Amino acid sequence: MWVPVKVSKWTYVAYNESNKIYFAFPLANHRKIYTHVYCQSTMLDTNSWIFGCINTTSMCQQGVDLSWKAELLPTIKSLMLRLQDYPSLSHLVVYVPSVHGSKFVVDCEFFKKEKRSLQLPVTHLFSFGLTSKKVVINTSGLYYNIELLNFGQIYQAFKINVVSKCSAVKDEITSIYKLHVPWSYEDSLTIAQVPSSTEISLKLHIGQPENDSYVALLKMYTSSNCQYEVTVKTSFSQILGQVVRFHGGALPAYVISSILLAYGGQLYSLFSAGYCLEYATMLDKEAKPYKVDPFVIMIKFLLGYKWFKELWDMLLLPELDVIVLTSQSMCFPLVSLILFLFGTCTAYWGDLLSSASVRLLSSLWLALKRPSELPKDIKMLSPDLPILTVVLITVSWITCGALAILLSYLYYMFKIVHLQAILTTLKNSQPVNPKHSRRSEKKFNHHKDTSAQHLRLSASDAEDSLRMHSTVMNLLTWVVLLSMPSLIYWLENLRYYFKLNPDPCKPLAFILVPTMAILGNTYTVSIKSSKLLKTASQFPLPLAVGVIAFGSTHLYRVPCFVFIPLVLHALCNFM
């Protein structure tokens, strides 16, 4: 049965239909008034249901199936056509099959695009959710488009709140909100009952290309005679999530940069005051973004000049990592600041975890073994130290450098646990007055007997040494973590070959193994009067800048910046 339909808005409820019905919409008059036609059906089968007729007779003699252009949504299947794209069509035909025992609804409407399209500028990045933008839709149709202006950066993140109200709702009504991003495949659907308040998360997976003029759309499949209030505001927590999501890989570089700044502060405190401050205190005092980021930004600025770029290339220096990050749509000063804050927090909590681990292991040590005393004489080179160094370097040469680094790290941790166990025993038996100890340390620093062959170690010296060892262990922990991929790869392929070749960690192992062996037997009392200590305390700052400049996207370079201050620290025992 053919039924002509001449109205611009039409709804048909099908229930127990015994006959097939074809509803034909003549398009000639509608083209003069409207630009688009939209149809939807709640029957979610995949059979053909909408066609276009080419002739003008009462029955369609020649037509084209338009069903393949329809979009299948969770509760409806819908089709939208721009009329001027189909000049040869004379009718639009909606097919309603014969059904028994089922009910579905078919809707069609003709409209002008400009009356169904609204613009909603998103709020500024730094509004922090304190301000919002709003648009109100008093619906008379089934479909609306909201253009989200100024939304195209991966760091932008918003919350959209859609509040729907209807005057008289008898049956359950469902609305669908679809976020469509033209330049990427990241559409998302949200289904909401009417009336309701629905929150939609708005963020991107891919930033908008420079030459792309499209805008992100919020497509709303609405219900007639309802009011929809759409509000958008910035979500600062999701902005932080976007930063970590896209640039979290650079976080280890910022953690190590913060630890290096604290390490340099501790060395300088030992040089100037004669004792070592707590790691957390130095991290709070020294780990500041303004000590690192301005230098990186200045280098990037100078690289814009030809003479500086030629000098840079002449020195065979690699490309600045900030240039790589900027090409990835990274706003360096802001994102670097956020990553620096995250890195400092990670460095702080990592120290709490490592300190708790050392105390736990020292308690286990005391439970299993009789407590020992502080060494009366400090010996940097014990008889077993050269043997241990040779063994570990041999392990690095014949197997994997990362394995040697891990074993050296475990040896260093063993030395720290041993020192912590001794201090715990001393504190339980004879408490130390910190003020008196500090005064005696300063006096000892100024009136040291240079003819003495051996140095005496006091409890306060041991506490200072433990603070310094904790910072060094935090640095070494990240070096070990960054070398883990090499170790895992070697273990996975151990059945094929025993020696890893090429081995990216082997050169690093040759330097770190003897360095960690010496540092494991180093105490602050043996280096506080060293002529090299002032120089060693000045190196971590430029190295922290170098870590951010060259290691943010190339993490394999970061250990090369870490071993330099460690080597200088070890050399302070001999100079």
Residue with the larger pLDDT of the pair 57 and 417: 417
Please state the rounded mean pLDDT for residues 482-493: 91
According to the model, what pLDDT value does residue 478 have? 94
Domains of the chain with bracketed CATH: 2-111 (2.60.120), 115-234 (2.60.120), 242-446+455-571 (no CATH)
At residue 503 the predicted structure's pLDDT band, cuts being 50, 70 and 90, is: confident
Query: Is residue 101 predicted with pLDDT exceeding 60?
Result: yes
DSSP per-residue string spanning 281-322: HHHHHH--GGGTHHHHHHHHHHTTSHHHHHHHHHTTPPPPHH
At residue 79 the predicted structure's pLDDT band, cuts being 50, 70 and 90, is: very high
Mention every residue, 6+ apart, whose C-beta is less than 8 A from residue 245.
none
| Both structure tokens of 233 | 């505001």
Query: Is residue 90 predicted with pLDDT exceeding 70?
Result: yes
Query: Is residue 453 predicted with pLDDT exceeding 60?
Result: no
- Angstrom distances, CA of residue 438 to CA of 171, 273, 428, 521, 540: 80, 9, 20, 22, 25
According to the model, what pLDDT value does residue 147 have? 92
Please state the rounded mean pLDDT for residues 522-541: 86
3-class DSSP assignment, residue 346 = helix
Q: What pLDDT, in 10s, does the model give residues 459-482?
A: 777 788 888 889 999 999 999 999
Residue with the larger pLDDT of the pair 449 and 26: 26
* pTM for this predicted structure: 0.78
Residue environment code for 212-244, b if the CB has 16+ CB neighbours within 10 A, otherwise e:
eeebbbbbbbbbeebebebbbbbbeebbeebbb
Mention every residue, 6+ apart, whose C-beta is less than 8 A from residue 394.
none
Cα separation, 240 vs 402, whole angstroms: 33
Q: Which residue has the tokens 């979610």?
A: 44
Cα separation, 363 vs 360, whole angstroms: 5
| Both structure tokens of 397 | 């040469």
According to the model, what pLDDT value does residue 488 have? 92
Mention every residue, 6+ apart, whose C-beta is less than 8 A from residue 284.
none
According to the model, what pLDDT value does residue 255 have? 94
Weakest mean pLDDT among 55-64, 205-214, 390-399, 527-536: 55-64
According to the model, what pLDDT value does residue 380 have? 58
Q: What is the mean pLDDT of the chain?
A: 84
Q: How far apart are the first and last CA of the chain?
A: 103
Phi, psi of 570, rounded to the nearest 5 degrees:
-65, -35
Query: Is residue 168 predicted with pLDDT exceeding 80?
Result: no
